Amino acid sequence: MPQHAPAAEPSTTVPGAVHRLVDVPGGRIHLLEQGTGPLVLMIHGFPETSYSWRHQLSAVAAAGFRAVALDVRGYGRSSAPAPVDAYRMTAHVADNVGVVHALGEETATLVGHDWGSSIAADSALLRPDMFTAAALLSVPYAPWNPVRPTDGFARIGGDEEFYVSYFQQPGRAEAEIEPDVRGWLSGFYTSLSGDTMPPPGTDSPFFVPAGGTMRDRFTGGALPSWLPQADLDVYSADFERTGLTGALNRYRNVDRDWEDLAAWDGARLTCPALFIGGALDSSTTWMADAIAAYPTTLPGLVSSHILEGCGHWIQQERPEEVNALLTKWLHTVHA
């Protein structure tokens, strides 16, 4: 596929990084690129963009790698197809394959956070010939299992509604978020950050009371220390322009993913891997069994780290620690 010239410099500026648009079979992907060497592809989660890797790009480039952070389809300046099923996991894997080809490379190391962690893991699982190592941040690897995801999420909610279930109906979460995108993002980031999240024993923002919204349980007050107003402005501007439908459609494909990936029932992820989680992150605590199973499910694991006092936004909350762990692992993988 042809590669576009560097894109006109948008408002999202990361010092030293070049903005680029590349064609992939599913549309167009926007990238931030810095450095030369083996390709390291960074995949963000919800609700973020390539900007969430602003602290890692220069560190990975300085360590001798070609650091590339993408806007996942539906986010930022990447294509946002209209059909809900265009956001199934296999489409994201295909986008990653297309990016590697568009950049003139044959293989890549993947680094993913949140949904990006799942996209990275499944990319390495489905295309081990191309994606030769995977660093997973915040969300642990867990193999396919026989429980249909929406059935499992419905049971988690009990008398209330688990947030993934709340996100399923197109337009419903958008109606909550889009009248005040900046305020919603601020509340979501704050409620999942180690230094500003609700204290233990209080109602969780991941559970929606009958007739309520997620926003009802967001933490108020000051922004977390890692998120100055200028960075919140960057995220807000992107999502005010694109809306949240593309981002939310990832959640609306969990059952399609389950059907698409059934052949990988119980599959181990054998490539060299790294896991970094936050001790205060619900993704880490809820999936503690998945982390404990790593000797079986992730036999190529090089190292696993839980950062005390850290919440969900791990590479932004603790950039220096994450950069040190990530670059050490990259040098081990590429030794």
| First-to-last C-alpha distance (Å) of the chain | 31
Domain co-membership, 272 together with 132: yes
Domain co-membership, 96 together with 80: yes
Domain co-membership, 218 together with 266: no
71, 114, 122, 257: the catalytic one is: 114
Domain co-membership, 48 together with 157: no
Confidence at residue 11, expressed as pLDDT on a 0 to 100 scale: 45
CATH number for 39: 3.40.50.1820
* Domain closes at, from 248, 276, 291: 248
User: Residue 198 falls within a domain, yes or no?
Assistant: yes
Distance CA 10, CA 21 (A): 12
30, 44, 92, 312: the catalytic one is: 312
- Cβ partners under 8 Å of residue 15, min gap 6: 58
Kindly report the number of other CB atoms within 10 A of residue 291's CB atom: 18
Q: Give SS3 for 21.
A: strand
User: Residue 42 falls within a domain, yes or no?
Assistant: yes
Domain co-membership, 137 together with 156: no
Domain co-membership, 36 together with 130: yes
Domain co-membership, 275 together with 138: yes
How many Å is the maximal CA-CA distance in the chain? 55
User: Residue 287 falls within a domain, yes or no?
Assistant: yes
Confidence at residue 203, expressed as pLDDT on a 0 to 100 scale: 86
How many domains does one find in the chain?
A: 2
Domain co-membership, 18 together with 131: yes
Domain co-membership, 134 together with 271: yes
Give helix 181-191 / helix 229-242 axis angle, nearest 10°.
Answer: 130
Domain co-membership, 164 together with 242: yes
What is the full per-residue pLDDT of the chain (335 aa) written as tens digits? Answer: 344 444 444 445 799 999 999 999 999 999 999 999 999 999 999 999 999 999 999 999 999 999 999 999 999 999 999 999 999 999 999 999 999 999 999 999 999 999 999 999 999 999 999 999 999 999 999 999 999 999 999 998 778 999 999 999 999 999 999 999 999 999 999 999 999 999 887 888 999 998 899 999 999 889 999 999 999 999 999 999 999 999 999 999 999 999 999 999 989 999 999 999 999 999 999 999 999 999 999 999 999 999 999 999 999 999 999 999 999 999 999 98
User: Residue 24 falls within a domain, yes or no?
Assistant: yes
Domain containing 229: what range? 149-248
Domain co-membership, 209 together with 99: no
User: Residue 253 falls within a domain, yes or no?
Assistant: no
Structure tokens at 225: 């220390």
The structure's pTM equals 0.95
- Cβ partners under 8 Å of residue 65, min gap 6: 35, 37, 38, 39, 40, 109, 330, 334
DSSP one-letter code for 196? T
Confidence at residue 12, expressed as pLDDT on a 0 to 100 scale: 57
Of the candidates 97, 103, 92, the one whose C-alpha atom is nearest the C-alpha of residue 129 is: 97
CB 274 within 8 A of CB 244: no
∠216-219-225 over CA atoms, to 5°? 150
User: Residue 254 falls within a domain, yes or no?
Assistant: no
Q: How far is CA 186 from CA 215, 219, 310, in A?
A: 10, 9, 18
Annotation marks residue 114 as catalytic: yes
User: Residue 257 falls within a domain, yes or no?
Assistant: no
Q: Give SS3 for 70.
A: strand
User: Residue 194 falls within a domain, yes or no?
Assistant: yes
Annotation marks residue 44 as catalytic: no
Confidence at residue 4, expressed as pLDDT on a 0 to 100 scale: 47
Domain co-membership, 218 together with 197: yes
